[in-house]
Structures are given as C-alpha cells and as structure tokens.
A and B are shown apart, each in its own frame.
Chain A
Amino acid sequence: EIVLTQSPATLSLSPGETATLSCRASQSVSIYLAWYQQKPGQAPRLLIYDASYRATGIPARFSGSGSGTDFTLTISSLESDDFAVYYCHHRSNWPPWTFGQGTKVEIK
C-alpha cells in the first residue's frame, strides 16, 4: 500500500499570503495524484488531478506540481473561502488508492 504523508498538519496564514502544501508518497505514483478541498459539513471538491491539471471551475490561484513521490499544492493570494482542509489522493495503476491525512489551512 502506498502511504501519502502530508505536511504540515496545520498551516496558519493570513488572507493574501501564499499557502504551500506538501504530499509525499512512499513510492512513485508517477503523476497520478489529485488534491481536494473540504470545508466543514461539505463533501470534498476536486481541485487538481494528474498532479498539475486544474479541475473544471477551479481558480488559477490553485496550482499543483510534482511527480514521482513529491507533490505540492500552492494556493496564491489566499482568500477567505480557501481556509479549509486539503487532501492529496493517488490513483496509480493498482489499488488501494489512499488519501493523505490532510492539511488544515487556518486563518492566522
């Protein structure tokens, strides 16, 4: 099973700042990694797939990068709506397709 480790667990930032979230895989997942945003009481929302492609309707301030075992989600110029929990998730060739434990982006 591929383990995804997200860091940091919590990120405290102010609106307008840039958030940099990390996801590290225990073995290569090529580019088959996605990022999701989840707000309290809501279902997760797909932000990024295949490491760097924004999903439909996702603002350009969200960007993803990486391949192999190291991935980054960058949120530029944080808006109040962006404070949430973010998960990475791999969809490499074989299951199980695990999620990271999440990074909470909170208002400083």
Chain B
Amino acid sequence: EVQLVESGGGLVQPGGSLRLSCAVSGFTFRSYEMNWVRQAPGKGLEWISYISSRGINMYYADSVKDRFTISRDNAEDSMYLHMNSLRGEDTALYYCTRGRFSDYWGQGTLVTVSS
C-alpha cells in the first residue's frame, strides 16, 4: 500500500524556520518525482515545490522561492522541505504528493506562523 506521511509542522514565529519531512512506503521512491502542495485554512490548493526523481531538478512557486528548499534522500525514502523566513501567509496544511500528477497524497502537516 502506498503511504506518504508528513511530519514536522507546528507553531513558529514570523521569521522563523521549520523543516518538514515526508516519509514514504509501498513504492519505489527513487523512481518518482515528488511535490509539496499547501492549503491555507479554508482556501484552495497551491503547488509550491517539485523535485525530480534523482533530486537534480527542483522548482518553486514564486511565493516561496528563495525561502524554501526542497530535498530528498532516496536511501531513506524521504523528502524534505526546509522553510526559512516564514510569514503569516505561509500558514497552511502542507501535503507531499507523488508523481507528475500527484496520484497519491499524504494527510498533511499543519504549519502555523504566528507570534
């Protein structure tokens, strides 16, 4: 069974940092590109970052570029999102998703940016 489990969310002050993790199982992680997608409370979905299967290509939405860094460890079947200079508008549920068309999603980890 394919599983994606996010962790690392929490309450952080504006300007702070956080690292999210996505642990996967049930498929050959190193064969798949991955994404992070977020959803602010009561709002729609926002794609924020992508990493290719071998971690060579990374892309970001303008809203997080230069503040967030995506990475992965294929030996550990895990993906990460390093978030710096956090702002109130980064408050959201953060999902990791599998593949170009996000055929599998985790349940999300909540990030709250507030003083």
Contacts and interface: CB of A to CB of B under 8 A. Distances in A.
A38 to B, nearest CB: 8
A91 B101 CA distance: 7
B47 A99 contact: yes
A85 B44 CA distance: 9
A91 B37 CA distance: 13
Interface in B99-115: 100-108
A77 B101 CA distance: 26
B80 interface: no
A16 interface: no
A1 B101 CA distance: 18
B62 A102 contact: no
B46 interface: yes
B61 A34 contact: no
Contacts of B47: 89, 95-99
Nearest to A85: B44
A96 B101 contact: no
Interface residues of A, number: 23
A3 interface: no
Interface in A39-58: 43-46, 49-50, 55-56
Nearest to A90: B47
B94 to A, nearest CB: 11
Given A43-B108, A95-B50, A34 B44 contact: no
A76 interface: no
B45 A43 contact: no
Contacts of A99: 44-47
Top 10 nearest A-B pairs by Cβ distance?
A43-B105, A49-B101, A95-B59, A99-B45, A34-B101, A96-B61, A97-B47, A46-B103, A102-B44, A101-B44
